[in-house]
Amino acid sequence: MNRNDLEKRTLRFALKIIEFVVTLPKNKTGEVIEFQLVKAGTSVGANYREANRAESRNDFIHKLGIVEKESAESCYWLELCQEAGLGTAELRQWLLQEARELLAIFTSAGRTSKTHRQEKQFAIRNSKFEIHT
């Protein structure tokens, strides 16, 4: 999956979050969950786009970390809805699955980026010791 595909996927996730929160109860509990879930769920895609436009590898890693946190928070609110039986069940199940998959993707991407950063830094620090023939 390339960057554009993942940007589209996170946009679809955000749109489905908005569609889902309309089905939450119209009381204080529903309002709180709606606010938190919309905030976290739409932030995944927004922050991923920002990460893709990072100014450096370190900036990318930092912003990707925010995407991972927002994905994890989205999972939390959706799991809470699942346990409480809130919202449309079919859409909630789709969102839960998608949130978990996005979290796995961004966690993996973050680990890979950090590993490559460390390998690159190691190579730069030790470049004076390399023998070229």
Where the chain has pLDDT below 70, the residues are 116-133
Domains, the chain, with CATH or none = 3-128 (1.20.1440.60)
Q: Give the chain's mean pLDDT.
A: 90
pTM of the full structure: 0.85
- Chain centre distance of CA 59: 16
For residue 86, count other CB atoms closer than 10 A to its CB: 21
Using one digit for the tens of pLDDT, what is the confidence trace for 29-66? 999 999 999 999 999 999 999 999 999 999 999 999 99
Q: Residue 39 burial by CB count (10 A; 0-12/13-18/19+): exposed, middle or buried? A: middle
User: Beta strands of 8-125 (E only): which ranges?
Assistant: none
**Collapsing DSSP states into helix, strand and coil, what is residue 41?**
helix
- Chain centre distance of CA 13: 10
